[in-house]
């Protein structure tokens, strides 16, 4: 693991998360190794990696979305999925 990582981390700052996510992406460590080393849930680390990848993708866009646009897009996507799920439930009720 990186020298940026202390053995006893009490608070995971964005800088520490970034360093760990970069180590995972670069193949210097795995989610399982980091999970054991820092007593973190693998699912939490996987979420950090996914968020890091999304953030990188946005940062490398020609016209990056600002934080508000990102949240509005995510909210819109979730509302759309919710609406579709509700329609499907209503259709199933009518068939039953």
**Contact predicate 20/48, CB 8 Å:** yes
Q: Rounded CA gap, 30 and 32, in Å?
A: 5
Assigned token pair, 7: 């053995």
Assigned token pair, 15: 């800088």
pLDDT 10s digits, 17-58: 999 999 999 999 999 999 999 999 999 999 999 999 988 888
pTM of the model: 0.59
pLDDT 10s digits, 52-88: 998 888 888 888 778 788 788 899 999 999 999 999 9
Q: Rounded CA gap, 45 and 43, in Å?
A: 5
Neighbours of 2 (CB within 10 A): 11
Q: Rounded CA gap, 46 and 7, in Å?
A: 20
């Amino acid at each position: 693991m990186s020298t940026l990582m202390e053995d006893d981390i009490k608070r995971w700052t964005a800088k520490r998360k970034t360093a760990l996510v970069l180590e995972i992406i670069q193949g210097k460590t795995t989610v399982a190794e980091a999970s054991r080393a820092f007593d973190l849930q693998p699912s939490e680390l996987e979420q950090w990696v996914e968020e890091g990848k999304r953030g990188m993708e946005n940062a490398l866009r020609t016209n990056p979305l600002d934080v508000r646009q990102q949240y509005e897009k995510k909210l819109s996507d979730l509302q759309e999925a919710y609406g579709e799920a509700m329609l499907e439930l209503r259709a199933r009720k009518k068939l039953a």
